[in-house]
Amino acid sequence: LDVTKRIENELSAVLTRTELHSGPPGLAAAMRHAVFPGGARVRPRLCISVALACGEEEPGVTDTAAASIELLHCASLVHDDLPCFDNADIRRGRASVHRAFGERLAVLAGDALIVLAFQTLARIGERAPHRLVPMLGIIGRSVGTPFGVVAGQAWECESRISLADYQRAKTGALFAAASMAGAVAAGRDPAPWQKLGELLGEAYQVADDIRDVAAEPEELGKAVGKDAALGRPNAVAQLGMQVAIGRLDFLIAEAIAQIPPCAGAAMMGALIGAEAKRLMPKKLARRAA
Ligand code: IPE
Ligand code: IPE
Ligand code: MG
Ligand code: MG
């Protein structure tokens, strides 16, 4: 089974399980809208790639962890798009969840997806109880406070923020969790995989900042120019476009250099290089060529 199929199958199974029990239909529809069709699925792909690079033994455990990380990411986007945060109408090329279902269901769909992510993760205990405890610690830390997504979003409510702390928490932490969870799923020590995930997450957010300035909305499936309009700290405003691009290249090179020794190290390096290419806005890629 290829990686994309593994991710979509697992997410689909998780959401279908919740729908088998009767609940408010609008909430179920809003949750499904937040998860399908997906975006780049970059965090679960990272998780599975690390597990494969480490010599995966129990794909079921990897897939469960990968899906729970993607559910947390989807929840963070639902809340991030709300009028009280980024007030975004379009996500993944269609109406954001609150535009399609209203604000109340969007808040609740985000909440329910977070809970569902941990319920999903808990199922690892049925197959591999010894992997559940490290998994819960790693993933919980990456979405809460002081180091995770919630803390990252809360930095926006402060008058003084460090760009690096903000980006590391809002984006880097979940990438680090994805790579560490992949190692745990494969029965490896997660510690050597933390740095790689952190660097990739920071690179990904710098790339997102560049795309917000230099890409077309059709390319991204979401509005552009929002960071400047909202006054969000971002790499382009802080460094200028040229230096931001240089920083992105540096972070990618650094990430590739941090891949721990393992059977799939060369494969990981190639994947990261290809992903970095995909992220460059068409306009800038043409200019560089
Ligand atoms: C968007 O994440 C938010 C950021 C952290 C930049 P993605 O770019 O991974 O969003 P999807 O899942 O592909 O839509
Ligand atoms: C969102 O960052 C990060 C989250 C934790 C949700 P952005 O606000 O830059 O992401 P987009 O541009 O809305 O996708
Ligand atoms: Mg935001
Ligand atoms: Mg946003």
Reported as a single tens digit per residue, the pLDDT across 45-54 is 999 999 999 9
Q: Which of 45, 47, 77 to mutate to test the pocket of ligand 1 (most atoms within 8 A of CB)?
A: 77
Q: Which atom of ligand 2 is nearest to the CA of 170?
A: 5
Is residue 80 predicted with pLDDT exceeding 90? Answer: yes
Question: Containing H/E element for 140?
Answer: helix 129-143
Sign of the dihedral through C-alpha 54, 57, 60, 61 = negative
Which atom of ligand 1 is nearest the CA belonging to 207?
6
- Answer whether 208 contacts ligand 1 (Cβ < 6 A): yes
Question: Measured from the CA of 43, which atom of ligand 1 is nearest?
Answer: 9
Q: Is the peptide bond before 59 cis (omega within 30 degrees of 0)?
A: no
Distance 209 CA to ligand 4 centre (A): 10
- Is 83 within 8 Å of 99 (Cβ atoms)? no
**Cβ density class 139-165: b for 16+ within 10 Å, e for less:** bebbbeeebbbbbbbebbeeeebebeb
73 CA from centroid of ligand 2 (Å): 10
- Counting from 1 in the atom list of ligand 1, the atom nearest the Cα of 70 is 12
- Give just the sign of the alpha carbon dihedral 176, 177, 182, 188: positive
Model confidence at 94: pLDDT above 80: yes
Q: How many CA atoms lie within 13 A of 168 on its CB side?
A: 15
Closest ligand to Cα 76: 2
Closest to 233 measured CA to CA, from 172, 152, 142? 152
- What is the per-residue pLDDT for 135? 98
Q: For the chain, report the end-to-end CA distance as a whole number of angstroms.
A: 35
Q: Which of 3-7, 85-89, 94-98, 285-289 has the lowest mean pLDDT?
A: 285-289
Q: Is the CB of 79 under 6 A from ligand 1?
A: no
- Closest-lying ligand to the alpha carbon of 222? 2
Residues in the chain: 289
The more confident residue out of 57 and 174 is: 174
Q: What per-residue confidence (pLDDT) applies to 289?
A: 60
CA of 40 to the centre of ligand 1 (A): 7
Residues 6+ apart with CB under 8 A from 115: none
Q: Report which of 20, 145, 126 is spatially closest to residue 64, judged by C-alpha positions.
A: 126
CB hemisphere CA count around 72 (13 angstroms): 31
Q: pLDDT above 70 covers what percent of the chain? A: 99
Per-residue pLDDT, averaged over 227-249, amounts to 96
Q: How far apart are CA 209 and CA 225, in angstroms?
A: 9
How far is the centre of ligand 2, averaged over its atoms, from the C-alpha of 92 (Å)? Answer: 12
- Give the closest residue to 138 by CA, choosing from 128, 151, 148: 148
Q: Which residue has the higher pLDDT, 158 or 288?
A: 158
pTM beyond 0.85: the answer is yes
Per-chain mean pLDDT for the chain: 96
